[in-house]
Amino acid sequence: GNQARDDGVGGSFQRSRGHRIVDSSLDVYAFAVGTLMRRANQPIPRAAGSGADRGGRLGTAPLRRYIDGLAQRQALSVLCGYGTPLTKEECIEASKVAARASDNIANLRSSKQSPMMQNEYGNQRRQVSALYKLARHLASTGGIQNRQRVKAVSTGHNNEVVILGAGATARCKGVKGTLKSGEKLLVRVDKIDPEVGVLNVSLV
């Protein structure tokens, strides 16, 4: 009924606890395999992930990138004696080819998106970035548990406000009717979760 989609349709994808568990497992796997390969003084092909924190990830769940298969092949060759290991030059070239392929796919997807979809996606990314910024600010000044008050300004769309200094938007509880555009308010942060894009605030 009211549950959001989780398949990416219309930019609806949200990271759940299950996604975070899989991510953590893949990070542990990459660390373990990478450590074993370094101890063996052998290279392994890597491809950058979707963010700086995922750069060089050695696998996905399920395995869906060609370079993931090469990484598994190299690990089995070096650590288990299956087949001939790739050379350092071959690993570097495989990583470069994978990076170019990833860039080409990203460019193709971007060119196929309508301006409306691109704008929506851009807005979502800005909101997530703003939520992380606000969360860091709250953590540095006492934490969300203190029900902190922050300054906001109305957008003029019903009860929507923008948190000053962070840029995150939210629907403000406790407002009757539509707020006047540009009206300055003091709101209380009731809940914030940047990973799922949640920000709940109420009028002070």
Residues 6+ apart with CB under 8 A from 190: 147, 173, 200, 201, 202
Q: Is residue 196 classed as helix, strand or coil in its secondary structure?
A: coil
Q: What is the mean pLDDT of residues 160-176?
A: 86
* Residue scoring higher pLDDT (41 or 11): 41
Predicted confidence (pLDDT) per residue in 105-154, tens digit: 655 554 454 455 445 555 677 888 888 888 888 887 765 555 688 899 98
- Listing DSSP states for 21-72 in one string gives HHHHHHHHHHHHHHHHHHHTT--------SSGGGTT----SS--SHHHHHHH
What is the separation of C-alpha 195 from the centre of its chain, rounded to a whole number of angstroms? Answer: 7
Residue type, 22: V
DSSP class of residue 156?
Answer: S
Q: What is the CA radius of gyration of the chain?
A: 23
Neighbours of 57 (CB within 10 A): 22
Q: What are phi and psi of 60, to 5 degrees?
A: -125, 170
In this structure, how many other beta carbons lie within 10 angstroms of the beta carbon of residue 187?
22
| Count of Cβ atoms closer than 10 Å to residue 43 Cβ | 20
The 3-state DSSP class for residue 159 equals: coil
95 near 66, Cβ under 8 Å?
Answer: no
The whole model's pTM is what? Answer: 0.47
What proportion of the chain, given as a percentage, has pLDDT over 90? 17
Q: Residue 186: which of 157, 156, 171, 164 has the closest Cα?
A: 164
Dist. CA 31–CA 184, nearest whole Å: 48
Report residue 36's pLDDT band, with 50, 70 and 90 as the boundaries. Answer: very high
